[in-house]
Structure 1
């Protein structure tokens, strides 16, 4: 998930303080990908350096005029409440800080309202019309772990697969439980996130089954802990 593009998309709606951007991002994604406030300000500084946003010190708390119900003032929805049980972190409402007293980031972005430049608006529009590329996949810890495991004789790969399958099944069951609790009419954004997590977990389980089948077909090509003991 590109935090950079996410912040640009939110700023296309209206100017915001850094803490408001974090709160809006987390509220709209069900707090599934919590943002550190420092990460938000680091990204904003880079966007400002690149000429995509400008930051102006607010003269009053009302300078970053919010919609009728910004995320930081909305009642807690069933989506944000349930998100905590998935991520184990507080929902976006915990990020609320009085802008008159600063954003609580230690000073770098305190009291600054961020807005898009013309170049920033064009970049936000470009993101919406550009498909996400799958040609250069991000680092997948599990894929890396298994790729290394099959090259190291001291690793019990089949045991690793079994433990991972149990963990992924547990996560999928929790996502499915939350999906049944979600309100289809009110929690569309949260539903989309949950369904993505469910489908991703299902695909991971299928892949783990495939890896195990491949190891079985290879026979002793990848020794398990028991295999190694038998050959000593």
Structure 2
């Protein structure tokens, strides 16, 4: 890590920070001393509740509503982060959408909407990150272990996450000389609303039994991986896909 990044408060933008893994990641990074921009798409109450929880625990955070696939909204979010905290060091692209269907039956309008959030979203946010992150920083994108597990009904979602993996690994190499790491975290089935809202009890039981550790992951499990990767201890890990899934594959 550079002296520039260690002599000042580090600043993180977490997209999708009002719920699920993004929410837990925002709280974990705040606990680790980051000032956090909690990005969200629509739920003002949840975003403000996240900020309140962070600030009441002694951390620094603001909520910023922005469509991650809208380049003007994302640019404005980075502007606000810089105006409020002086710069940006870490970007965590946790915003995502999951729509499940067999390939034959997936509505193409739904496919386009999902890929807008899951592919264009991290692409647009990463463009701003590349232009603005301070040396010693990190970009974390989210894939999914379903890319390897190949569950039926996940074709559209897995396709979007495979695109994120390809984009991220190329970006890591394009950042040569910048002292900025770029990695992918690919969770397995994780106990969040995104999983519960898209699976039956039978499916959830099957998913929980798949890893050798015989449970679903938690948002805390995944946030801990992100926290390591963006810390000085994790700075030598670069251009990798970390499949945080309890050993499911």
TM-score by length of 1: 0.28
Greater helix share, 1 or 2? 1
TM-score by length of 2: 0.27
Greater strand share, 1 or 2? 2
